[in-house]
Amino acid sequence: MKGNQIEIRLAVPSDATDIAALLHDSFLEYEMLYTPEGFRATTPDSEVIQQRMNEGPVWIASLDEKIVGTVAIVAESADSLYIRGMAVLPSARGKAIGKAMLTQVEDYARKYGFKRMFLSTTPFLDRAIALYEYFGFCRTADGSHDLFGTPLFTMEKSVSSATN
Q: What is the DSSP string of 101-155?
A: HHHHHHHHHHHTT--EEEEEE-TT-HHHHHHHHHTT-EEES-S-SEETTEE-EEE
What pLDDT shows up at residue 146?
A: 84
In tens, the pLDDT along 72-129 reads 999 999 999 999 999 999 999 999 999 999 999 999 999 999 999 999 999 999 999 9
Domain ranges (residues) in the chain: 2-158
Terminal Cα distance for the chain, rounded: 15
- pTM score, whole prediction: 0.90
CB of 52 closer than 8 Å to CB of 72: yes
Q: Which of 42, 138, 61 shows the shortest CA–CA distance to 104?
A: 61
pLDDT at 3 over 70: no
Give the chain's length.
Answer: 164
Q: State the number of CA atoms in the 13 A half-sphere of 84 facing the CB.
A: 20
In tens, the pLDDT along 33-68 reads 999 999 999 999 999 999 999 999 999 999 988 999
- What kind of fold does domain 2-158 have according to CATH? Aminopeptidase (3.40.630)
